[in-house]
Amino acid sequence: MGLSPLLEVRRLAIADVLEIVPKRFGDNRGYFCEVYNQERFAAESGTALRFSQINQSLSAEKATLRGLHFQAPPFAQTKLVWVVRGAVFDVAVDIRAGSPTYGKWASVLLSAESGNQILVPAGFAHGFLTLEPDTIVQYQVDNPYSPDHDRGIRWDDPEIAVAWPLAGAAPTLSKRDAVFPLLAEITTPFHSAGAGA
């Protein structure tokens, strides 16, 4: 007997990046939902991922920007990201050599209120900008953190030109994120399936 669909899957501007919306069941107390169910997720998203680690971050200030981060193989990570409190502008940048969308980005507004998620595949750099103070983000990954494989790309790379909703304000950044190289300055370790590499 098949499982009833308890989540909605939407393809974003880059088809490999998915927005996942778990169904909520509400009553006078609030709501209940399955944030993640392995079998349902595989059936609805068409992926056979096995997540191995859950991470959480708190960003105290509005306009805190984290990214653009990725891990190189063999510790490349697929991420399933959602917001526990607050809201973020979440971005995935295609860094797969030979991909028709190489250097392009897809985005979604994630919020605790909407309960939506973004699936960021391996081969994409990921980042987010907080839209509210004291925002808490959680995400699960299919490979553990590896400091030796941890990489990043400048958040304001003009070639990528992410339209961060900053309204002219300067974001709060870590020292590390502020000095990441541009996409043109790195040799990407990822290749699209059709690139023959």
pLDDT at 197: 39
The first and second tokens of residue 51, run together, are 């997540």
pLDDT at 194: 61
> CB–CB of 23/6 below 8 Å?
yes
Neighbouring-strand partners of residue 97: 191
Q: Which residues form the catalytic set?
A: 69, 139
Rounded Cα distance between 123 and 190, Å, is 5
Q: Which residue has the higher pLDDT, 49 or 127?
A: 127
Chain position carrying tokens 């494989």: 149
* Maximal C-alpha separation, the chain: 55
Q: Residue 2: is its pLDDT beyond 70?
A: no
Spans of all domains in the chain: 7-191
- C-alpha 66: how far from its chain's center? 11
Convert the pLDDT of each residue in 86-125 to its tens digit. Answer: 999 999 999 999 999 999 999 999 999 999 999 999 999 9
Q: Which percentage of the chain shows pLDDT scores above 90?
A: 83
The first and second tokens of residue 188, run together, are 């990407």
Q: How confident is the model at residue 177 (pLDDT cuts 50, 70, 90)?
A: very high
pLDDT at 7: 87
Rounded Cα distance between 76 and 141, Å, is 9
User: Which CATH number is 7-191 given?
Assistant: 2.60.120.10
The first and second tokens of residue 181, run together, are 């190289």
Convert the pLDDT of each residue in 129-172 to its tens digit. Answer: 999 999 999 999 999 999 999 999 999 999 999 999 999 999 99
> How high does pLDDT run on average in the chain?
93
> What is the pLDDT averaged over residues 74-83?
97
